[in-house]
Amino acid sequence: MRIILHLLFFLLLTYWHFSCQNQQAQENDDQRSKHKVTVMGENNYIPSYLELHREGTLEQRGKVLWERMRVCDLCPRDCDSRRLEGQRGDCNASSQLMIASYGPHFGEEPELTGSKGSGTIFFTHCNLKCVFCINADISQKGHGRKYSVDNLAQIMLELQENGQHNINLVTPSHYIAHIILAIDKAAAQGLRIPIVYNTCGWEKPEVLRYLDGIVDVYLTDFKYGCSQQAGKYSPGAWDYVEMARKAHLEMHRQVGSVQVNQETGRMERGLMIRHLVMPNNVACTEEVMNWIGENLPKDTYVNIMSQYMPVFRASLYSEINRRITREEYRKAVDAAKQAGLTNIKTQP
C-alpha cells in the first residue's frame, strides 16, 4: 500500500511539474509574440537581412568589400585607389566614412515617406560627378563629418526609434562595405525596417550582388540613354548606359517589381526608377523609356521628374543652362506611354 501511495505521489508531482513548464512556455511564447509585434511595426514586416545577420553572412560580405578598397574597384570607374591607406578614389572618398546629414525626409516618393518620413542618410562624395548636381556641396565639394561604422549603425537605430519608415541610403556606392557592416551591427541591436538603396544607377552588377537579401527597395536613377551625353555631363562615365542597364536588371532580379502594403500605402520591396528630364533632350529620354519597356515588366515604377535646375557647373554648357519647358516634359511622358509603361509617376 505504501508503495502505491508513493507511486501516486510521484505521478502527481510529475504532472504538476510538466503543467508548470507548459504554462511558463506559453507565457514566454506570448511575450515573444508581443515583442515581435512591437518591434516589427504595424504590419509585422520582417526584413530578409535579419537571417543574413544570424548566419554571419552580413559580416562576411562587408569584410570582402572592405578588402576591395585596398585597390578599389567597387564602382565602374575602377580607379584602383588604395583607399585603406588613406588615398582618395575618383569618387574623392578614402576609407573614412563621411556623412553630410541624416534625419526624416519628406522629399522622396510618397510611397517611401509616409507620415513620418524616410530615414535618409546623405553620404558625402559621389562617383558620377554630374556637372548639374543639385547637391554638389555634398557630392563634389566634400561637405560632411567623419563617422565610424558603429556611428552609422547607431544612426540607423535612431531613425527607426524616431518612427521613420525605412533607412534611405543616398549615394551609397563608395561606402557599400561600411553600410553592410553597419546594418549587421544594427540588426544585432534591433534594426527591423526596410533598407532603401538610393543610387545614381551607375553600379557594377557583381558588387550589387553583395546586396542581395539586404536591400528591400532600390530607388535608382536612370539618367541617360546615350553614352556620349553621359560622358559629357557626368565626366568619364562613358559606359553609363551599358552599366546602368546591367545594374537595373540585377536590381530587378533581387527585389522584383514594387510591392506596396495595402494597409499603409508604403513601399516594402521593389525597384523604383527615376528619370530626370533635361533641356534639349540631352538625357535621351526616349531611349531610356524604350529600354525599360523592352527589358523590364511594363508595370515597373517609373518617376518622370521635372525639377531639373541649371546649378553647379551647368552654366558652362549652353544647351543645359535653363529649366525644361512644359513641352519637353510632355514629350518625356508620351515616350514612357508609347513604350507601354503602365506605372508612370508624373510631376506638375
Q: Is residue 281 part of a domain?
A: yes
Helix boundaries (H) for 128-281: 136-139, 149-161, 176-188, 205-208, 227-233, 240-255
Q: Is residue 170 part of a domain?
A: yes
Residue 43 is predicted with a pLDDT of 56
Residue 126 is predicted with a pLDDT of 98
- Report the relative pairing of strands 344-345 and 267-276 from DSSP bridges: unpaired
Give the count of domains, the chain: 1
Residue 207's CATH number: 3.20.20.70
Q: Is residue 33 part of a domain?
A: no
Q: Is residue 16 part of a domain?
A: no
Q: Is residue 11 part of a domain?
A: no
Per-residue pLDDT of the chain (348 residues; tens, 9 = 90+): 444 444 444 444 444 443 444 444 344 334 333 323 223 344 578 899 999 999 999 999 999 999 999 999 999 999 999 999 999 999 999 999 999 999 999 999 999 999 999 999 999 999 999 999 999 999 999 999 999 999 999 999 999 999 999 999 999 999 999 999 999 999 999 999 999 999 999 999 999 999 999 999 999 999 999 999 999 999 999 999 999 999 999 999 999 999 888 888 898 899 999 999 999 999 999 999 999 999 999 999 999 999 999 999 999 999 999 999 999 999 999 999 999 999 999 998
What is this structure's pTM? 0.87
Element (H, E) at 217: strand 217-221
Please count the CA atoms within 13 angstroms of the CA of 137 that sit on its side-chain side. Answer: 6
Nearest to 333 by CA among 275, 280, 294, 291: 275
Q: Is residue 34 part of a domain?
A: no
Residue 254 is predicted with a pLDDT of 98
11-to-2, 8, 20, 21 alpha-carbon distances in Å: 14, 5, 14, 15
DSSP reduced 3-state for 348: coil
Grid coordinates belonging to 328: 519637353
**In angstroms, rounded to a whole number, what is the distance separating the alpha carbons of residues 150 and 100?**
16
**In angstroms, rounded to a whole number, what is the distance separating the alpha carbons of residues 254 and 218?**
9
Q: Which residues are CB-neighbours of 257 under 8 A, at least 6 positions away?
A: 270, 271, 297, 299, 300, 301
Nearest to 179 by CA among 165, 167, 163, 162: 167
Q: Is residue 174 part of a domain?
A: yes
Task: Give percent helix, percent strand, percent coil of the chain, each to the nearest 5.
Answer: 45, 15, 40
Element (H, E) at 196: strand 195-199
Residue 336 is predicted with a pLDDT of 98
Q: CB–CB of 347/333 below 8 Å? A: no
Q: CB–CB of 157/10 below 8 Å? A: no
Q: Which backbone phi and psi does 273 adopt, to 5 degrees?
A: -110, 135
Domain that holds residue 323: 46-345
Checking phi first, is residue 14 left (phi over 0); if not, alpha (psi -120 to 50) or beta?
Answer: alpha
Q: Is residue 227 part of a domain?
A: yes
